[in-house]
Structure 1
Amino acid sequence: MTEQRAITDIVFDMGNVLMTFDGHAFAEAYADTPEDAELIYGALFGRTEWALLDSGTIDHETIARVAEAHVPERLLPNLRACIAGWPELSEPIAATNALACRLKKQGYGIYVLSNASTRIGEQLGHMPAMSVVDGWVASAFERIMKPDPAIFRALCERYDLVPSQCLFVDDSLDNCVGAEVAGMRSFHFTGNVDELEAAIAEAH
């Protein structure tokens, strides 16, 4: 009889774990000066409405209207281009994508759980590890956000996962705590993929 390993499924956050998310860099890509970049950032990514978008409380048309009201008219074309194109500037984090692919080959289930808007597919669409992902949940579709334990439970219920056999990986310590309340183990990711891989091996 084979001994069951403690961890069978790895649940990754997306932003700054599998894919970069840097609102300042996104804004800079659509601005001609640092000052204009700051105006675009402040009107879009830097507003509390961005969290409402991720929560599914408001839609993309609403946040666009809000953002347009907070930039000079001359920057409206830049802002609109940023709104349309920023997901393409979210870049894969090579080391964690490679790790996810290795873990899949080792027999782990691979899942993504992200506080993200309904446009999450535009990021996942150019994420290398997406080819090995067994399922994903995004906050805007659930209308629940991390660190609420309910979103972790929703993932487990949808994909028939046992929380105690899941390791959740996130760059937010608060989100890790939420996962643990839901019965998962967690790893606070600070950029060191070797540490993450070692922690997974120890949990085997």
Structure 2
Amino acid sequence: MIDTIIFDFGGVLVDWNPRYVYRDYFQDDEKMEWFLANICTDEWNIEQDRGRSLAEATELLVAQHPDWEKEIRMYYGQWETMMKDAIHETVDILFELKKKYKMYGLTNWSAETFPIALDRFEFFQVFDGILVSGKERLIKPDEKIFERMMEKFNLKPENCLFIDDNLKNVEASRQFGIETIHFINPEDLKAKLDEFGML
């Protein structure tokens, strides 16, 4: 019944990690991890994925932590460095699947930074449609973003397979009625797709 595959991007097709900026800067992994856990946190970053502007987010955090202003401004000032490369083995799987299936993207990503990725990686041209959380002002795992995905591209949950590396998103997708693969690495993804008889 599956005729459509929906890919998450970060951690699945794109190797993005703020540590690619801060590891060289701090030269101390313990201090870097403290900074990412307490200053530029995942919770802060996800609000940009929900639609908050980068400028507002930066100024808000600088006001809260003025002693860390330089490091905070590095987050979006050097954001492109965080986007290291495509995960080429997954991209190869993507192109193989495209021969037989419709292909869509569903990503938690800032509307301001996503165009940078779109310009950098040619594989995005494979997709029949992409829904970006920052544009929709909805984020996974909220079921409303899955509803928006279905409505926007005229899809049916029972005909879709969703691939995501975030377990909360995977569980939400399954509850919504979409078959899902929890992405661990490209080798594991290939094995699971083989089990489905999709490669």
Where on the TM-score scale, by shorter chain, does this alignment land: which range? Answer: 0.7 to 0.9
**TM-score of the pair, normalised by structure 2:** 0.83
SS of corresponding position for 2:16 = coil
RMSD: 2.4
Aligned-pair identity (%): 27
1:110 paired residue among 94, 103, 115: 103
What is residue 3 of structure 1 aligned with on the other side? none
What is residue 16 of structure 2 aligned with on the other side? 21
Evaluate the alpha carbon distance shift between residue 190 and residue 66 of structure 1 in structure 2; reply closer, same or farther with a 3 A threshold: same
> Contact (CA 8 Å) 1:88, 1:123: kept in 2 or not?
no
What is residue 187 of structure 2 aligned with on the other side? 194
Cα deviations by residue, 1:129-181 (Å, 9 ceiling, x for unpaired):
21211111121221211111221121121111221111000111211111122
**TM-score of the pair, normalised by structure 1:** 0.82
What is residue 157 of structure 2 aligned with on the other side? 163
What is residue 9 of structure 1 aligned with on the other side? 4
> Contact (CA 8 Å) 2:19, 2:82: kept in 1 or not?
no
Task: Map 1:1-204 onto structure 2 (within 5 A).
Answer: 6-29=1-24, 31=25, 33-34=27-28, 37=32, 41=36, 42-44=38-40, 46=41, 48-56=43-51, 58-69=52-63, 70=65, 72=67, 76=70, 79-90=72-83, 91-104=85-98, 106-118=99-111, 119-191=113-185, 193-201=186-194, 202-204=196-198
Q: CA deviation at 1:68?
A: 2.6
How many residues of Structure 1 are paired with residues of Structure 2 in the alignment? Answer: 192
> Contact (CA 8 Å) 2:17, 2:82: kept in 1 or not?
no
Evaluate the alpha carbon distance shift between residue 203 and residue 182 of structure 1 in structure 2; reply closer, same or farther with a 3 A threshold: farther
Q: CA deviation at 1:11?
A: 0.6
Query: Within 2, Cα distance between the matches of 1:88 and 1:109?
Result: 31
Higher helix fraction (1 or 2): 2
Query: Within 1, Cα distance between the matches of 2:162 and 2:92?
Result: 17
> Contact (CA 8 Å) 1:43, 1:71: kept in 2 or not?
no
Query: Within 1, Cα distance between the matches of 2:81 and 2:158?
Result: 35
Q: CA deviation at 1:40?
A: 5.7
Evaluate the alpha carbon distance shift between residue 32 and residue 180 of structure 1 in structure 2; reply closer, same or farther with a 3 A threshold: closer
User: Which structure 1 segments of 5+ residues have no match?
Assistant: 1-5
